Structure 1
Amino acid sequence: MHFITIMGLLWLVSIGVFWGVMKYKPRTLWSGFSFFWMLVFSGLLVVTIGFQYSDWIVRHQALFMALSVLLGVVVLGLLFFPFAVILTFFVQGIRILFKEGFRWSNFLSLAFAFGLLVYVVAFPLAFSGASSPVGVLVYGAVGMAVTYLLSVLTIFCFSAMLNLIHWKKRHDLDAIIVLGAGILQEKVTPLLASRIDLGIKLLYENPHAVLILSGGQGEGETISESEAMYAYCVERGVDPNRMRQESNSRNTEQNLAFSYALLDDPKANIAIVTTRYHVFRALALARRAGVDCVGYGSKTKWYFTLNALLREFVGYLALTWRSHLRMLAVLEIPFLLVFLMAGLFN
C-alpha cells in the first residue's frame, strides 16, 4: 500500500476517534488527547504530501517559497515556544500580583514560569557533565516526570478549550445552573456578573428553561451569593418565576449536587455556566456525580485566566492523582530497572 495512502487512512482514523470521543466522552482528558493526535496525524499527512509532490512543488517557485517560509516559521515557533510560554507566564504573573494582590494563589503564574526556566535551562546545565550512572538516571527520571506533567497540562488545556465550543445554539435546555463566586458584602463582582449575564442570555434562548443561581454565604459576605445573584437578575428584568436559588453550597461539588436536587426531572437537559477557565473541572465533577450536562464559559481577563487555569489544573490533579501516579510509575519503571541493574553489576 502506498505510504501516502497509509497516512491518509491514519488521519481519517484519528478524525473518527476524535469525533467519537467528543460525542460520547467529551468531559474527559480523552477529548484533548484525541485532538492532539488528530493534529499530529494532520501534520504528518501534510508533510507526506509535500514529500510526495516535492518535484512539482519545486517547479512552482512561488508555492515553494511560501511553503519554505511557512516551514521556517513552524520550526522557529517550536524552538522558541518554551521561552515564549515562560515570558508570557512571567509577564502575566507580575500583572496579576499588581492588579489582584499578593496572595499565595496569585503566585502560580510566576512559579510556573520560574519552574519552566529551571527545567529548560538550569536543569540541563546542571547535569550536562554528569558522568555517574546515578546522575544520568536522576536526570532521566526527573525529565520523564516533568515531561509527563507538562503533557497532561497541554492535554488538559486542549480538553478545556474543546468543552467551550458549541457549534450551534441550544434551545432545548431545561435548567441553566450559574455557579456562584465571591461577592463584596451584597454586591456582585464583575467576574460573577459575567457568569450571570451569560446565564440570562441562555435563559432567553431557551424558553422552557429555569435559571438556578447557586452559591452559599462565604466569609465577609452579608448575604448568600445566590441572593445577590437573584437581585442582580431581577434588576435586569428576569422573570422571578423562572429562577430558583440554591443558598447552601460551599464549593463546586456542592453547587452541582444541591442545584441538581432542585430539578423536578432527573433527565433534564442541563447547562452549567461558570468562568471559562473553570468549565472543564466543573464538567469533570458533574461527570463524577453522574450529572449529564454541557458547559458554557464567561469571559474574564487574560492575565487572570492563566493563573486561574493553573489553579484549575492543580485541582484536577487532586481529583485524579491516583490514575496519574500509576501512569507515572509505569513510565519510571525503565529508569528504576536500569538503576537496579547498575547496582547489581557494581
Structure 2
Amino acid sequence: MITIGLSLTAFFTIVFILIMVIERRTLFAGFSFLCMLGSYALLAMLIVFRYSHWITAHRLLFDVILFGAFVGVVFLIALPIVLVLMFFVEGIKIIRKEGFKWTNCLSLGLALLVIITTFVIPSLELWKIHPYLFKLWSMVELLFAYLLFMATMYVVSALLNLMHLRKNHHFNYVVVLGAGVIGAKITPLLAARIEKGMEICRANPDCQLIMSGGQGPGEDLPEGEAMAKYAIAQQMPKEHILIENKSSNTIENLHFSQNLMKQPARFAIVTTSYHVFRSLIIARKQHIKCVGYGAKTKWYFALNATIREFIGYLSLTRKMHIVFIILLELLIVGLRIH
C-alpha cells in the first residue's frame, strides 16, 4: 500500500510541477496542487498505519502524531465556518466603507447564500411538501456544489499564479493595467499598481514600463498618461516609460500594449492581486505568453472583488460550464432512474 501511496504522490507532484512550468494560467494548476496535497496526506496515513506498532511504542512520537491529526480534523471542520463568518463580517464592512451597491454586496450575499442553502432550506424538508420540489432542490444543490468547487479551484489557481521565486525574469517590458482616475488624480488602488510595476521593472535591467489605459468618463486625460506622470514623479526615468492610451478593457490593454513591443518580447503584467489571474486567462485566450504580478489592496475590498472576478471568469468560460453542468445533471438523473 505504501508503494501505491508513493506512486500517487510522485505522479501528482510531477503533474503539478509540469503544469506550473508549462502553463500555470489554468484551473488545472489549483486542481493538481490540491491532488498533490491529498496524495501526501494519504501517504502519511499509510505510513502511520503501516508502522503503527512502532509508533505506539514511542509515546512522544505517538502524541505528536495524534495531536497533529486532531488539529487537522478541527481545521477541516472549522475552516468552512470561519470562511462564512469572514465573508459575512467583511461584507458588512465593505458596505459601510464603500457604500451600498450590488457590487459591494457580493461578500455578504455569498455568506447568506451558504447559510440559507446549508441550514435554512434543508430544515424545511422539501421532500415532504412535494417530491418534485425535492428533485428540483437536488439539482440546485448540485449546481451550487459545482460552483463552490470551481470557486475553490479558481482561488487556489489565482494564488499560485501570484507566487514567484524571484522578480528578475529578464523581462523586456512590464505592462501596468490601468484603473479609473479621478480627473487627473491617481487613486490609491492605481498607485499601488504603478509602484509594483516600477518595482518589477527596476529588478529587470533594460526593462521598459508600459502604462496602459484609455480615457473614460469623468477623466481629464487618458489613464496611461496620468500613470506615466505619476511614475516620473516617483523618480522613474522618462525614457523607460511607454504610454498606451487607447484601451478600454483588459483585452485591449494586452492587445494595444503588445503592439508597442519589439518582438520577440518577454513581459509581465501588473494589476491588483485579485485581478491578476483573470487577466492571465484573457492573455492565454489571446495566445499571449506572460506572467502576472499583483499589487496589494484592502482586505475587505479584495474578498469582494475576488467574487466579482470569479463571476467574470464564469462569464468568460460560460459555454464550457453550461455544457458540463448539463451533462452532470443528465448523469445524475440517469443514475436515479436506474
- Give the TM-score band, short-chain normalised: over 0.9
Q: Is it true that 1:291 corresponds to 2:293 in the alignment? A: no
2:313 is aligned to: 316
1:199 is aligned to: 197
Would the aligned equivalents of 1:127 and 1:139 in 2 still touch at CA under 8 Å?
no
Q: Aligned partner of 1:319: which letter?
A: L
1:301 is aligned to: 298
- Write out aligned runs for 1:64-143 (5 A): 64-127=62-125, 130=128, 133-143=131-141
- Write out aligned runs for 1:229-240 (5 A): 229-240=227-238
Match of 1:163 among 142, 158, 161: 161
Provide the rounded CA distance (Å) in 1 between the counterparts of 2:64 and 2:132. 48
Provide the rounded CA distance (Å) in 2 between the counterparts of 1:104 and 1:139. 26
TM-score by length of 1: 0.93
Match of 1:61 among 35, 59, 62: 59
Provide the rounded CA distance (Å) in 2 between the counterparts of 1:286 and 1:170. 21
Cα offsets for 1:155-189 (capped at 9, x unmatched): 00011000011112324100100001111211111
Distance 1:229 1:154, change over 3 A: same
Would the aligned equivalents of 2:278 and 2:309 in 1 still touch at CA under 8 Å?
yes
Cα offsets for 1:114-151 (capped at 9, x unmatched): 11111221132223754865344334322221111100
Q: Identical aligned pairs, as a percentage?
A: 42
More deviation in 76-85 or 143-152?
Answer: 76-85
1:49 is aligned to: 47
Secondary structure in structure 1 of the residue aligned to 2:96? helix
Q: Is it true that 1:335 corresponds to 2:322 in the alignment? A: no
Would the aligned equivalents of 2:127 and 2:133 in 1 still touch at CA under 8 Å?
no
Shift of 1:50: 1.3
Q: Aligned partner of 1:173: which letter?
A: F
Shift of 1:77: 2.1
Provide the rounded CA distance (Å) in 2 between the counterparts of 1:57 and 1:134. 53
Q: Aligned partner of 1:293: which letter?
A: C
Q: Is it true that 1:269 corresponds to 2:266 in the alignment? A: yes
Secondary structure in structure 2 of the residue aligned to 1:184? coil
Provide the rounded CA distance (Å) in 1 between the counterparts of 2:182 and 2:212. 16
More deviation in 207-216 or 326-335?
Answer: 326-335
Shift of 1:338: 5.5
Instruction: Give the total of aligned pairs.
Output: 338
1:174 is aligned to: 172
Q: Aligned partner of 1:328: which letter?
A: I
Provide the rounded CA distance (Å) in 1 between the counterparts of 2:36 and 2:21. 15
> What 5-or-longer segments of structure 1 have no aligned partner?
none
Distance 1:17 1:130, change over 3 A: farther
Q: Is it true that 1:29 corresponds to 2:27 in the alignment? A: yes
Would the aligned equivalents of 1:186 and 1:221 in 2 still touch at CA under 8 Å?
yes
Distance 1:50 1:251, change over 3 A: same
Provide the rounded CA distance (Å) in 1 between the counterparts of 2:140 and 2:57. 48
Would the aligned equivalents of 2:225 and 2:243 in 1 still touch at CA under 8 Å?
yes
Provide the rounded CA distance (Å) in 1 between the counterparts of 2:11 and 2:284. 27
Provide the rounded CA distance (Å) in 2 between the counterparts of 1:231 and 1:331. 52
Distance 1:79 1:197, change over 3 A: same
1:225 is aligned to: 223
Q: Aligned partner of 2:274: which letter?
A: Y
1:144 is aligned to: 142
Provide the rounded CA distance (Å) in 2 between the counterparts of 1:70 and 1:115. 33
Match of 1:183 among 159, 181, 184: 181
More deviation in 7-16 or 79-88?
Answer: 79-88
Q: Aligned partner of 1:274: which letter?
A: T
Provide the rounded CA distance (Å) in 1 between the counterparts of 2:132 and 2:59. 53
Provide the rounded CA distance (Å) in 2 between the counterparts of 1:306 and 1:31. 21
Provide the rounded CA distance (Å) in 1 between the counterparts of 2:135 and 2:116. 18
Provide the rounded CA distance (Å) in 2 between the counterparts of 1:78 and 1:305. 24
Provide the rounded CA distance (Å) in 2 between the counterparts of 1:21 and 1:224. 38
Root mean square deviation, CA, Å: 1.6
TM-score by length of 2: 0.96
Provide the rounded CA distance (Å) in 2 between the counterparts of 1:131 and 1:58. 53
